[in-house]
Structure 1
């Protein structure tokens, strides 16, 4: 019997690690998607941001974030965490505990799986503030978001805090990860302002095409693949028949929601613009994925497709609405992760009988308000001190040369 339990422990740990690796691969997806949707002159800066933010997230979550989110048993009144440091040393789960069935997977695998979620939230911010933000101001914000803001709101639900206690349900993070990242991005966009030339003197909206649509499409497919780890890994176990069936259902529903999001976004774009807009289709896939993330294990296949399709419709309408409000988001991140994230949290009510509308609305309001206001404060401090926007000349010439001293496509931009 001990051998069976130990094998199950090894399988669950391995599954956790592979799922985390798939989520880590989403960092490549965000990087490719964003670099495809910005102009050639800003490509190296986008690549640097994504490599840097992932690395910052890993370090900050190890040093501070994990402890704030999970090591305080819900924190003070389920709201405020304890503020001691967490530095992983030895494995606190022993082999004897595994053989006794007291723990189902390695402590380290749990940490690894959670840290890649933090990086995902920060990646959402990167695309929304692209092409006009100072690189080092962005990195400083990444330190605060991944070390403090994200873990504190994560404590409220996944760490046993007050949202968990009132029944808020968010299986893999439509609100906790995606809406939170979008709220931080929205705060930055409001203080940053639109890109030069995005809106004309009469208020007209001017399209600024990205430089590499094949790269953007590749990035979306990488995200789609990584999402199987994002949602599937959140089942936390695979080493039993029930767990394996649950994981398989999560994979199926995740895939269906993404596909339905693409089709719905394409159809609406065709109706609104008369064309099959690739960028809307790509955001439709992401919106479908975000929408199903809060409850991928409970809907029927048909309902999962409906949830994804609604996400695909909402992302198109949201991108158009934000543009009319002159909120410049070059990649549509706020809409794909924020608007679809809100819908995903509410869609839990369609398939989870234990979820309540009060609990879901409370989760949306608490997470959005805290992350938005905390981020707005951090962005404001950075703006008043270091500054968050590059000067006009650097924006016109491109951030690659000004911030990084090199260009991604020198043959296209004329660099020697």
Structure 2
């Protein structure tokens, strides 16, 4: 289960302060009642939850902008579908696998999650259990969004949705239980405040496995190592998606403080917001400088992914770093995008939206660098967690991708790919006035 905030202790301290003399009462920090703390903590989860849910719109717009016109409707459909599947699966199996009965082990329990009643014993948790479930569920959906963008333009819809069921209902919750569910990595002292590895690298490993098994888009790579650019449909949409994700990240990181019932908690949340913003800004600036130096032109798609890589990098520890450290962490994340994107091209791994550099590689960097600002973490334990998550997700994802490939197939035909998935898979084009054989009056 999530680390619980004990409410009764705060109430007891308040009573003692009031019974003491005026001097002691003035020196003691003011405390609110358990009911008020419950309200503020629940409010934090709800605000964080709808901000992270709004990131689903960010992923949809980012992907819609970075795929070609003939595949935009498909990406919109995939994103609303995966969010919905994640919600159902996190209720059916996910939450209990991740948080119930892990007890230092490797997995929780099976079965649908039942929300506890509000009030009474529920006050002992310090927040509404329904708000906690919602907040954890939207993180689960984020993991699937990462896979969606990487595999765009050539994967069949139904195999992708079936993989989403497995990822959100089993792979992500089991992996998450190791740390956030008080599992074996938590016992070791592994640190991942808001999910650079638990969310982003897990999604990145699943995407990498799928990209290798699925293969590149037709025409992306030539026989002599030539890389053919396949420009996206709309840079305004991709930019809008990036800003939506940036906004949602304040809920992603800030609400991971898990409490808002004290002055200290609210101050920490404010610091998390500031550090999160600085890391993203540094990621953008480093990216535009490097692309200008290396390519003599600033690449807008690199700049957008630089912001996201800065956000992913700071997610493992957004509270402890100083402003300078946050800028450094986010700036390195931006540099990772610039250098890893061409590396993937050399390896002929086709990542349509750049999710592997942003979420996987920057997620590894952000997790590994936690001890720079958090003295309670160690590089050895951080590396152990990174390797464990990578091995588990790669193996589990690869096995299931191969099962799907050998049974129902995962890739559309060359002819269908050329026509576009909007037309052949769902029959609704995003921009019908530009489509072949169709007009709009």
TM-score by length of 2: 0.91
What is the Cα deviation at residue 200 of structure 1?
1.5
Q: Does 1:13 align with 2:42?
A: yes
What is the Cα deviation at residue 96 of structure 1?
5.1
Distance, in Å, in 1 between the alignment partners of 2:44 and 2:96 is: 24
What is the Cα deviation at residue 409 of structure 1?
0.3
**1:52-63 equivalences in 2 (<5 Å):** 52-63=81-92
What is the Cα deviation at residue 118 of structure 1?
0.3
CA contact 2:284–2:303 (8 Å) conserved in 1? yes
Q: Does 1:174 align with 2:201?
A: no
What is the Cα deviation at residue 136 of structure 1?
0.4
The residue aligned with 2:26 is none
**1:5-404 equivalences in 2 (<5 Å):** 5-74=34-103, 78-82=105-109, 84-88=110-114, 90-92=115-117, 94-95=119-120, 97-98=122-123, 102-404=124-426
Distance, in Å, in 2 between the alignment partners of 1:218 and 1:349 is: 34
The change in CA–CA distance for 1:236 and 1:80 in structure 2 (over 3 A counts) is closer
How many residue pairs align between the two structures? Answer: 409
In structure 1, stretches of 5+ residues that fail to align are none
RMSD of aligned Cα (Å): 1.2
What is the Cα deviation at residue 316 of structure 1?
1.1
CA contact 1:128–1:330 (8 Å) conserved in 2? yes
Report which structure shows greater RCO (CA 8 Å, sep ≥6). 1
The change in CA–CA distance for 1:320 and 1:114 in structure 2 (over 3 A counts) is same
Distance, in Å, in 1 between the alignment partners of 2:111 and 2:61 is: 34
CA contact 1:93–1:103 (8 Å) conserved in 2? no
CA contact 1:174–1:290 (8 Å) conserved in 2? yes
Distance, in Å, in 2 between the alignment partners of 1:64 and 1:316 is: 38
CA contact 2:116–2:122 (8 Å) conserved in 1? no
What is the Cα deviation at residue 315 of structure 1?
1.3
Distance, in Å, in 2 between the alignment partners of 1:379 and 1:249 is: 41
What is the Cα deviation at residue 201 of structure 1?
2.5
Distance, in Å, in 2 between the alignment partners of 1:168 and 1:93 is: 32
Distance, in Å, in 2 between the alignment partners of 1:223 and 1:95 is: 37
1:107-166: CA deviations, max 9, x gaps?
Answer: 111100000000000000000000000000000000000000000010111111111111
Distance, in Å, in 1 between the alignment partners of 2:366 and 2:68 is: 31
What is the Cα deviation at residue 73 of structure 1?
3.0
1:316-349: CA deviations, max 9, x gaps?
Answer: 1111100111000010001100010000001101
Q: Which moved more, 1:393-402 or 1:405-414?
A: 405-414
What is the Cα deviation at residue 93 of structure 1?
5.3
Distance, in Å, in 2 between the alignment partners of 1:97 and 1:150 is: 27
What is the Cα deviation at residue 94 of structure 1?
3.0
Residue number among 412, 425, 428 corresponding to 1:406 in the alignment:
428
